[in-house]
Amino acid sequence: MKTFIGTHTAIRLAFACAILASVTFVSASTCRAESSADKHARKVHSKLEKYSSGSYLHLVLRDHSNEYGALGALTDASFSFKDSDTNAVSKISYADVGQVRTDREPIGEGSEHHIRTRTLVVAGVLAAGAAVAAFEVR
């Protein structure tokens, strides 16, 4: 008498796939999924690593408050940040940061607001369009 598994290769293959699927399902359910807070903290940490120590940053925290100041030393769970108003150094957790921004506003005496190239291009296109429209109407 032949065994159940030994008679047909299709049955043997289906049985092996069922066992493999159940083992995969059990091992996947026991793995801890990374929380969204941990993922966000890793993204903030990698973004802050791109800046050198002393860089002027604008932080928008999770409680929607704004912090302006200089970046300090980075650690695994937090970083130091020197407030621009009070010069107080504080430790901020990566999970507490909502956004990291670099404000490109001109600061200091003698700095001027420059007209950007995009503004000039848009103004030129609008002027050309108005000239063509005026010529067609006439």
List, for residues 33-79, the tens digit of each pLDDT value. Answer: 568 878 999 999 999 999 988 889 999 999 999 999 999 999 999 99
Whole-structure pTM value: 0.52
110 Rama class: left (phi>0) / alpha (psi -120 to 50) / beta: left
The helix/strand/coil state of 75 is coil
Distances (CA, A) of 44 to 10, 51, 85, 91, 130: 51, 12, 23, 14, 46
CA distances from 77 to 10, 73, 91 (A): 53, 11, 10
